[in-house]
Structures are given as structure tokens and as C-alpha cells.
Structure 1
Amino acid sequence: MLQGGALAAMFAAAFAASAPCGAATQAPAFATIFSDHAVLQRDQPIVVWGKAPADTVVTVTLNGKSEQAKADGGGRWRAQLPAMAAGGPHVLSVSANGATTALNDIMLGDVFLCGGQSNMELAMAYATNAPIDIPFGGSPNLRFVNIARETSAARRDEFSTAPQWQVTGPQTTGQASAVCFHMARALQRQYNVPVGFVNASWGGSSIQSWISGPSLRKLAAYGQGLDVLDTYARDAAAGGRAEEARQEAWWDKLDPKAAAQRAWSKAEFNDAGWPSLEPGGRWGESGIDALKNHRGVVWFRTTVELTAQQAQAASHLLLGQVATSDTAWVNGVRVGAGNAWWAGREYAVPKGVLKPGKNVIALRVLDDDNSGGLLGPADQRALRTADGTRITLPQRWKYQIGSRVSAVQQSAPWEPPGSLTTLYNGMIAPLQGYKFKLAAWYQGEANAGDAREYQTLLPMLFADWRQTLGQPGLPFMVAQLTSFGSVATKPGKSAWAELRQAQSLAVRNDAHAGMAVTFDFGDRSDIHPGQKTIVGERLARAARAVAYGEKITPGGPEAVSATRSGGDIVIRFANTNGGLRTYSSDLAIGFEVCEQAACRYAPAAAEGDTVRLKGAATAGASKVRYAWADAPFINLFSADDLPANGFELDVQ
């Protein structure tokens, strides 16, 4: 029983909670992107926003300038302060009816937005020269904020995890995006103004995840997926059912046996006649003859015994990495699907699906060109409870070979890294109103293999972010895909070269875009090369030309034409910065001449701003290519040591 004073205190607290909030007892607040140590964009009107009691008039003050705004019925307010010159530190405050919220150590300078996948996400702690750059590379005038990974089916006005601006220094720099840090540091030193950078990136993510729904809907191919995503945003269970129907319709179209094999997902199906194996790698390497050369579908099933308490507590199915696509059922209920082999599978299991006693887990796995399977050790495959406890699944699984098919399965439109628009919703949309000097984009690995579409999607992302941020001319700096994967011993197709070409064309066709060519500092055995200093500094050079208007070339040599000259083909380059030169040879390597689809290597000699392909002007010569490989070996540079960009050009 509560006694005297305690009872009175309880009633007082209840009254305070239910009474209308007076402005004197509830201070207005800034949106979470604003915090101590933030950098605001100089020389542009400064938009700030936040929450306050409904209909409250707030006063926002910065650097001696004040503006008023009124909170709407939902408590949202937005104010615009006049443009201000670089400087600080300042106090940014918002007040209403005697209550004030103040943010300290605010700087005015240049702000950069950095986005993309893992090569943008890679932190300074893992980059080359980290032991030197982290303790000695920081500055009070160089600051950053990392946006927490957040996926959302619906567009958000606010971040679910409050970002925290940090000043670079020995204790903080290791957490910063390495590419963005080196770009920002180079520009901060060049112009001697405070610089802040916002890092919004997610390893393995596709570009479709970073574009808004209304923009993606301009491409008919995404309409159905976006419809499912909208349903999921309103009702997760209904969205799950809609996605299952979409996926299974795709399977029925792909595989005539899909309908019959779907019975293998049911809990009551009798798999007693199926053979078994211990997964832990690709089935082509299992030593099982029937699987050695199979390309297509393999089904896997296992059972796990649960107590009543475990069945009640378990909430997620963990499968580790799966090569390459999978659909998962628990007791006949579809719980998820994925198609990125590098991303560990984690599927939510709806309440009531797991039962005390025997529970059946079934997987339909679709391979890639290297066969498929459940990768990694057995302890990665488990049921997880809300408190983090793991219930490990059996090591041996039953399996059955399915159809021989070749395709890439879609993933659920709300599941990163292959989702549609969800990273834009959770990580970009809440920035609406924050002003930037430029944006930097380092992404494309996840989209290699569909360069033609990327050539449409990258300009779409440029336009989409510019519209969201209210900056129609926002400059974009693009880090081109680096060197990784297969080397070429003869001319052939290259998904990475095609993607680089798409990036080049998108940048070339945008008056406010620049590019950093990076393949001379790549690592063909590591998709995440640690040398980020060069990438960041090349982005900074492009920014000096495109965003700051310096009269310098934004980068290295770019091929602009290929013409016949007698029996030769002459390729003319721009941005040679004093002429072309070759390293370790009198000849430039990596050039090809093609007669339609048939290409051959061609000897090439640099002459000033041109490269001459001797004897290449045959009657059927239709195009020329350079550095056309996933991991090209190249030796053609500008006079100031910048690599010539790869290309494919028609012969005129």
C-alpha cells in the first residue's frame, strides 16, 4: 500500500502527465541531426527544425541572428536563418515561453553528404595508414556524423537513432568513413574553413535502396515491388502475404515444377526418403556426385525440438550466409527470402508459428554460376530469442535436388541490402532541409551486372537527392568502381568495366558532377582495398573543379573520340594535364579494337594528347576499348600522375 506522501506524489505525477503541456515546463527541441559540434553550411540560408508543444511560437538564435516560427498542430516547427560566413564556435538555441534548448560548439563552414555501400562505409580504423592518420590527422575544424543504419518501409521525418556530431581526433577519427574523411581533410586544408561530413552508407546496398519511391516509380519494373512495400508499411502481415504471392508467381513463371515442389516446404511433408548432408559450403564442393555439377535449385529441411518456453521466446531464424538466393519456411509459413550471399540471413518468425515439440525448417536455395549452399559453420544456423539466446539447429540437414534453372531471385522490397527505397526513407529523407556544399557517392559493386539500368539509376539518384535537399545544383562527386576480381588474359565481357562506363556517362552528362578514377589503386583480391587516401584526395580534386569552381581539370585523361587515320586509329584525350605518358613501357597496354563483338588487343603508343593504335583501322573495326576488365592492368597516365579512365568508344 502507498502511504501519505508517496500517494500524493503519484497523483501529482499523473496530473502532470495528463495536463496540457505548458511551454514553461517543456522546452522546444531541435531535430536530431542538430547536436553539439555540428557544422552548418556557410553562405546559404540556414534551415533548422524540431518539435515543440503544438501552436507554440519559438525563437531560433545563431550568431546574433534570430528568427521566429510557429509549431503546427503536430508540434513541428521549421525556421530559416539568413546566410552567414564561415566561423565559430557559436551557440544555436531555440526558446519558447521561458524554456530554452541550446547546442554548443556549432561551426559554420562546408558540409558534405557521403553515401554508398561498403567502400564508403569502411572506417578509418581499417584503412591504410590508420596508425598515423587517426592520432595525428584530426582537427577542431574537421567534424563528422555517422547516420546509424536504418531501413524503413515508409518515409521518415526523423532518425530513429539520434546522430551525434563528433570532432575528429585520436578518440574519434577511427569511426569516420575513410574515403569521406580524406576528401574532407583535403578540402578543409585547401580552403581553411570548418568542414563537416555526414556519412549515410550501408555495406552491400544496391542503388535502388537509396532512391525515393516516387522516383523509382518512374521505372515500370519497380511498380509491383513498391506496391508490396507500401502494403507492408501499412500492415506487415499483409505485406508479407503480398510478397509471397509476388515471389511465388515469379517462381511459377521460371520453373514448371515450382508448384509441385512447393509441397516440400510444408511441415507435414514426409522427407524420410531424402538423403542428408552437413552443410558448410557450396554443394559443388561437398563431394556428393549428384550435386557436383548441379546448377539450379536444392531444397533443404531440418527439424528442431523446442520446449514450450523456447517456442514462445524464439523470434528470429538465423541462417548465416547462403549462396546465393533462398526462401525460408518455418512450419510451412514463409518467413523471408534473400539474394545476397555476403549478407547473413536473419528472418523474423511471427508469433505462434513455432510450437512446443517438433518444428520444421525448409529452405529453397537457388545457386549462382559457382553452385550454391549454406555457407559457414553450423553454429550460425539457429533460432534466436528476444534476449539473444541461440537455439542451434541440427548439423545435418535433409536435401533434395530441384530443377535446373538459371536466374536471380528477387529479395523482399523491404529487406536490405537489396531493398527498394528503404535506406532513402530511413537515412536520407530525415535530412530534408539540411544544406550541403556537395555530395559524394561510392557505390556500384552491388549493381555490377546491370550497367545499362545503372546508367538510368545514377542520374535518377542525383536528381532525387537534389530535390529532397532543395538544392537543384548540388554537386555530386562519384568514386568509380576500383579494380577487383578477374584479370583478363584475352578480351571479353566485364561487368565491372561496364558499370564503370555507366558511371562515367552519368557524370559526363551532368554539369554538376565529377569523378575519381580509382582502379590503379585497387586490389584484385580484396573488394575493400585499404588505400582510401588516394580515393578521397581524387574526390577532393574533382570537388575543387566542380563544387568550388577552380580552373583545374577535375581528374585525369578522358577519351573523347576515336577516328581513323590511314591504317591507324587515333584516340584523342581531354584532361591530360600536360600530355599522356606510359609507365614501364613505350607502349600503352590494355587497348582493344573490336569488330562488332569480336575484340583483340592492339599495340598503342601515346603521342601528346592522343594514343595511336597502329594498323587497327581495318574495314570492320567498329569500336575501341581500354581497361576493359574487372581488374585491369594499366600504365597510361597524365603528366601529373592521374590514370586514364577506361572507356568504350565507337570508331568514327
Structure 2
Amino acid sequence: MKTTYRSALALPILLATPAFAQDALLLHPMFQDHGVLQRDRPIAVWGDAAAGERVEVTLGSRKVLTRADKDGHWRTDLPSMPAGGPYTLSAATRGGKSQRAEDIMIGDVWLCSGQSNMEYPVSGVLGAAGEIGKANDPDLRLMTIEKKTSLSPERQFPTPVQWQRTTPDAVREFSAACYFMARDLRASQKVPMGLIDATWGGTAIDAWRPESALAKDPAAAQDLALFRVYRADAAEASKQFGERWMAWYRGKSGDVAGTEPWQADAPGEWRALPSFDAWEKWGVAELAQYNGMLWYRTEVTLTAEQAAKSATLALGPADDMDASFVNGVPVGVTYAWGVPRLYALAPGTLEAGRNVIAVGVLDTWAEGGLLGTADQRAIRFADGTSVPLAGPEGWRWRRAPAGVDDPPHAPWEAIAGFSGIYNAMIAPIGPYGLRGAAWYQGEANAGSPDGYAEKLGSMMAAWRGQFGKPDLPFLVAQLSAWGPRVPKPVESGFSQIRDEQRQAVAADAHAALAVTIDLGDVVDIHPANKLDVGHRLARGAEALTYGGKASPSGAWPVEARYEGAVVRVRFTGADNGLVTYSAAQPIGFELCGTAPGSCRFATATLAGSDVLVAVGTGSADRVRFCWGDSPICNLYDGTGLPATPFELPVR
């Protein structure tokens, strides 16, 4: 089992329609005691009633009438209201059904979303005890949305949600960056605030993009078509994706078709399985620190009657990723650690007599393996009967060749697939009024950073459509430093994500970037200084939505041009000018040719609001600043904000 902080946040599950949903209420669950409604704009309210039934909605002295549609859904808009409260929100039908929500405040509502650094709780920050102890603000309200996925957009939350006043207990496990941002805004704006925490560690951006955004992305077309097949027929989609996965494996391993480890009589040295513990615990020297793929296999004998039944393969949890086969047929691929695998088997997959089960398990960090208890491994039939799979003594294992890593992801995976998290955690929020959204995500996309700017832009546009506000402010927290420092220029997925985040914000008049490169930790992907992240998010919010005079993101590169023996990089947004710390000149600048690996460190000097980078010898088609997983950079503006990392073409 993963024991790092990441595992505590990620809690991945398989993408599926929720097993249950919060009961349909006259008022949608967003509207309940202690809630906050967005000020200074019409207030959307909705819920459920009998088809065609009239509903009277009251908020304070304001009252409107509406009617449920043929599906029993109703929605209306109350007139806009200034900040204040408390009020009572009520809905009542002519048939006598009614519901009330007490202690409703009118103020500003912020949605905070992303992966583990946004999820990171107040309990983990520097000075946590003091921060928690003083968290008593009855006009700052908190809602946390539980981690769930769905194949289609949900109207109701899969599990109940609740608004809470800020108390030490309520804030302890709430998003620290979100809370600290709002605390700053409460101090400056003096209005009630509501915070919605919809976060999930380890998740990639496509899981947060609605299907409408994916449909406009040509790069997503093939996987989106397969995702739609999965929604109708999971076994068929798994088989189709498995063919792609097998081709990928053969390309990496060099195996000739017919000799792969999922074949019934695959060659190679298959050794007795010591246990269903993590392989690091087997006492096998070559596996003590092994991150890579291991193959497991076993056999089960079935009667002709059993082989003809509808069945599911149950395997127990795998850590991190598995690709599973029955009689050489791909039946499931999942990236989700600590979650039992359950794979529907297409008709004809099972055979009378001998059946061979092969499972490739890929571990990328910490412990790995096929885990769980004996009762979790079986062939389960639709009639309720089952055939258990063998214990460890009936299984064998062997290592995959070196270089078999980073396999393709199935589009229905919970944390790296398509739309599942959006469907269950964002879609049910409906058109609830927001002041803005804060987004802190990107680490999960650093392995494949190309196109992240377009993905983020499409997500922001789609969410704005849902919330009915085309100019909804987005505050994007840029990735912090994490990872080894290097003595020479290198390529870096983290750096590319940072630059893609910068590009997405640059293309969006209603977005701001919170630069956090200097707040990271080279050995911890979850730096504990979330207080300053919150300060910088609040600064962006002040500039975008509250008329603040400070620039939202600090020093921002505008262009890079040749001027004789130097490249002049022009900046804007440097409040109180550009400054350098601990040196007379800025460090961290690189000049590059067109080819990867052509970058070199370059000497730079300040020239007012510009930086002059000496060309020296070599080409200068691109200029980069603060590049690398954990670069050391000393260029700031006069208010103490670091300049954003970037790459620009030289004109």
C-alpha cells in the first residue's frame, strides 16, 4: 500500500456510474443550511418536484414562482442581492411539500479545484496548529465534495454534501491554499464567502474536462470514441483498448507476436509467487527497490457450463497499474492503486477446461504488486456462484524487460481518463453562482505536457458555460519547484507545464497566474508553505475581480528580440520594478537553438523593466528562464513576487 502523502490524497477508484446518489430534494443539495449565495447577480435556484408541479421559491422578502418540467426538474432565478444575511431560503409546492435552508448568507463563492497541492489540507501546513486554532469565522462557509466518478454528467452528488461554518474542526482537512486565499479576501472585502473544495490528488486534467470540451479537441477524438463505446459495452471497449496496449507492449519489449507473457504457453522463466504482498517484501534482491512491470499468471479449470455463463474477473487491488488477460484476450487496463480490479468478461472469453489468467502490474514509485486477500480473487458468475483463483502457490511471476514503462491510459480511468471526475464532482454543482475559480493542477500531466495550455483553456471555457458566466475569473496556481537541481540546462516536463499554464493565462483576459516556483521543495512534491500560495491567489483575485491595483501575476515576459549582441526580453507587470536577489544580475536565463538539447546558460543584466541576455556564441532562437524541475532563479518584482518561468521565441 502506498504510504506517502500522495496516496492519502489520491484514493483512486474505477470510473463507473455511482452506485447511489443523494436523494432528489425539492431544493438541490447545494441549497442547505449555512450556504452562501453569490451577490450582485441573479441567483439561480433549482431542485426537483412532481412533473408539472408549481414551486414557490422565497429568499428573504423575494419570491418567485416556477414549474417543474416533464422530468420533474425545476429552476428559477431570484433577483440579485447585495452582500448580507442571514436569510431563509424556502421552496414549497401546491401539494404541500416544502423545504427550508436556514442561515443563508449572500456574499462571494469560490470554487477551488485541482490535484493534491490544492487538496493539501490545513493540517499539513507550516504552523498548522496555530492556523487551525484561530479558524473561527462564522461568515466563511466551507463545502467539500467527495471523490467520485461517473460515466455521464450527474445532476445529484453521488454522496451528500454539506455547508459548514469555519471552525477548527471544519477547516482541519479543508484545502489550505483555498482557505488562505479566502481568508485574505475576507479581510479585504468584508463580505461573507463560501468555498467549494472539489479536489483529487494525482488526477490529470482530462478527468476534469467535460465531454463537450473533449469533443472539440482533435487529439482526443480516438479515445473519446472508445470512451463512448465503454459507456455502452465495457467488455468490448476493454478488448479494443487491449489491442492497442498489446501493440505498445510488443514495441517496448521486442516480443514476437504469440510469445508475449499473456499467451497460454508464454516462454521465459516463471518463478513461484512468494505472496500477495508488495514485491519489495518478498526478499528477492532484484525487486527490493524495483519500479517497473512484473507479470503474474495462474490457471483455473472450468466446466463447459461455467464457461458459458456471464462472468467477471476479480483480482484484488494492484499497485499502480495493471493490464489483465484471460486466455490471451485483454479484459481490463486500470491505473488506480489500492483498488480491487473487477473486469466484465465478454462472451466467449472463458473456455471449458484450462483458462490462463495473466496480469501485468506496473509500479512507478514506492511499493508495487498484485495485492489483497484470497476472497478478492475469483471468477464470479452472474448467477452468484464463483470459482476461486489459486493462492500464491498456484501463481507464477516474471519481470518484464527494462524500458517497459508509461503505457497508454484507458480513457475511462478515474484519475487519468476522460470526464469522470467532472461528471461526478463538478457537473452536480450545476449553475450555482460563483465569484471565481482557483485551479492548482498539472503535476499529473508533466509526463506528457504538450497541449496542456489548450486543454486548460478548453476546461475554463466549459466550466464558464456551466456556471453561466463567460468572464468567470480563473486563478491558476503554477507548479512549484520539485525534483533534483542540475548543473546544466535540461528538458523538464514540469517546466513545460509551467510555461503552458503561463500561455493559457496569457490567452485569457479573465485569468491570473499565481507564480509559486520559489515556494517548492526539492524533495517533496507537496510543499507545506500553502500560506503564500493563498496570498498569491488572493492577489490575482483582487486584480481580476475586486479592482486591486497590483498586477495579478508579477513580472510577465512580453517579447524577446535581437539587439546586436544581446537578446532584449521585455517585461510588464513588474510592480516597483525588477530586482535581483543575492546577485547583481539575474540568473537562470538560457539561450537555445531550435533543436532539443541545444540550450546553454547565458549571462543577463537588468535594463530597467527589461533583461538583456548576452548572445555569446551559438544560436539564439529561443530564450528560457527559470527552466528545470527545481531551478534557482533570483528575478523578482519590487513587491517580492518572482518572475514567471517561461520560454519565448526570439524575434
Shared fold by TM > 0.5? yes
The 5-angstrom pairing of residues 324-403 of structure 1 reads: 325-329=321-325, 334-339=330-335, 343-350=337-344, 361-365=357-361, 375-376=367-368, 380=372, 383-384=375-376, 394=392, 398-401=396-399
Decide whether the 8 Å contact of 2:24 with 2:48 is kept in 1: no
Letter in 1 for 2:237: A
Q: How far, CA to CA, are the matches of 1:168 and 1:334 in structure 2?
A: 49
User: SS of the counterpart of 1:37?
Assistant: coil
1:147-177 residue CA offsets vs partner (Å, 9 max, x unmatched): 1111001121111212101111112111311
Q: How far, CA to CA, are the matches of 2:150 and 2:330 in structure 1?
A: 21
**Residue from 587, 596, 618 that aligns with 2:594:** 596
Asked if 1:88 corresponds to 2:85, the answer is yes
Decide whether the 8 Å contact of 1:251 with 1:258 is kept in 2: no
Asked if 1:431 corresponds to 2:437, the answer is no
Call closer, same or farther: CA 1:231–1:168 in 2, change over 3 Å. same
Deviation at 1:523, TM superposition (A): 0.7
Q: How far, CA to CA, are the matches of 1:381 and 1:331 in structure 2?
A: 23
The 5-angstrom pairing of residues 574-589 of structure 1 reads: 574-589=572-587
Call closer, same or farther: CA 1:622–1:69 in 2, change over 3 Å. same
Call closer, same or farther: CA 1:28–1:558 in 2, change over 3 Å. closer
**Residue from 248, 255, 259 that aligns with 2:250:** 255
Asked if 1:36 corresponds to 2:33, the answer is yes
Aligned length: 603
User: SS of the counterpart of 1:629?
Assistant: coil
Asked if 1:56 corresponds to 2:48, the answer is no
Q: How far, CA to CA, are the matches of 2:328 and 2:243 in structure 1?
A: 14
Q: How far, CA to CA, are the matches of 2:650 and 2:468 in structure 1?
A: 41
The 5-angstrom pairing of residues 42-441 of structure 1 reads: 42-97=39-94, 98-234=96-232, 238-252=233-247, 255=250, 257=255, 259-261=257-259, 264-265=261-262, 269=265, 274-276=270-272, 278=274, 280=278, 287-288=285-286, 298-302=294-298, 316-322=314-320, 325-329=321-325, 334-339=330-335, 343-350=337-344, 361-365=357-361, 375-376=367-368, 380=372, 383-384=375-376, 394=392, 398-401=396-399, 408-441=406-439
Deviation at 1:379, TM superposition (A): 5.7
Decide whether the 8 Å contact of 1:327 with 1:363 is kept in 2: yes
The 5-angstrom pairing of residues 16-35 of structure 1 reads: 29-35=26-32
1:490-536 residue CA offsets vs partner (Å, 9 max, x unmatched): 01111111110000011011000001000101011111111111111
Aligned equivalent of 1:499: 497
Letter in 2 for 1:183: M
Deviation at 1:67, TM superposition (A): 0.5
Decide whether the 8 Å contact of 1:315 with 1:384 is kept in 2: no
**Unaligned 5+ residue runs, structure 1?**
1-25, 307-311
User: SS of the counterpart of 2:50?
Assistant: coil
Normalising by structure 1, we get a TM-score of 0.84
Aligned equivalent of 2:486: 488
The 5-angstrom pairing of residues 624-643 of structure 1 reads: 624-643=623-642
Normalising by structure 2, we get a TM-score of 0.84
Call closer, same or farther: CA 1:313–1:171 in 2, change over 3 Å. farther
**Unaligned 5+ residue runs, structure 2?**
1-22, 303-309, 381-387
Say which one has the larger Rg: 1
Decide whether the 8 Å contact of 2:109 with 2:435 is kept in 1: yes
Letter in 2 for 1:53: A
Call closer, same or farther: CA 1:79–1:333 in 2, change over 3 Å. same
User: SS of the counterpart of 2:169?
Assistant: coil
Q: How far, CA to CA, are the matches of 1:335 and 1:440 in structure 2?
A: 38
The 5-angstrom pairing of residues 566-581 of structure 1 reads: 566-581=564-579
**More off after superposition, 514-523 vs 135-144:** 135-144
Percent identical: 39
Q: How far, CA to CA, are the matches of 1:549 and 1:458 in structure 2?
A: 25
1:408-451 residue CA offsets vs partner (Å, 9 max, x unmatched): 32233222111101111111111221111101111101111332
Letter in 2 for 1:638: D
User: SS of the counterpart of 1:140?
Assistant: strand
Deviation at 1:218, TM superposition (A): 1.8
Q: How far, CA to CA, are the matches of 1:253 and 1:168 in structure 2?
A: 50
Letter in 1 for 2:341: Y
Deviation at 1:349, TM superposition (A): 4.7
User: SS of the counterpart of 1:424?
Assistant: helix
RMSD across aligned positions (CA)? 3.6
1:8-29 residue CA offsets vs partner (Å, 9 max, x unmatched): xxxxxxxxxxxxxxxxxx9961
Decide whether the 8 Å contact of 2:152 with 2:420 is kept in 1: yes
1:541-579 residue CA offsets vs partner (Å, 9 max, x unmatched): 011111223232112211223333443333222122112
Decide whether the 8 Å contact of 2:242 with 2:333 is kept in 1: no
Deviation at 1:396, TM superposition (A): 9.3
Aligned equivalent of 1:479: 477
Q: How far, CA to CA, are the matches of 1:504 and 1:27 in structure 2?
A: 41
**More off after superposition, 582-591 vs 185-194:** 582-591
Q: How far, CA to CA, are the matches of 2:356 and 2:488 in structure 1?
A: 49
Decide whether the 8 Å contact of 2:242 with 2:332 is kept in 1: no
**More off after superposition, 543-552 vs 144-153:** 543-552
1:302-352 residue CA offsets vs partner (Å, 9 max, x unmatched): 57999xxxxx99985333423xx4302468775532346xx3343125599
Letter in 1 for 2:342: A
Deviation at 1:618, TM superposition (A): 4.5
Aligned equivalent of 1:9: none
Decide whether the 8 Å contact of 1:151 with 1:427 is kept in 2: yes
Letter in 2 for 1:41: Q
Decide whether the 8 Å contact of 2:279 with 2:288 is kept in 1: no
**More off after superposition, 217-226 vs 513-522:** 217-226
Q: How far, CA to CA, are the matches of 1:99 and 1:33 in structure 2?
A: 19
Decide whether the 8 Å contact of 2:280 with 2:288 is kept in 1: no
Call closer, same or farther: CA 1:419–1:92 in 2, change over 3 Å. same
User: SS of the counterpart of 2:407?
Assistant: coil
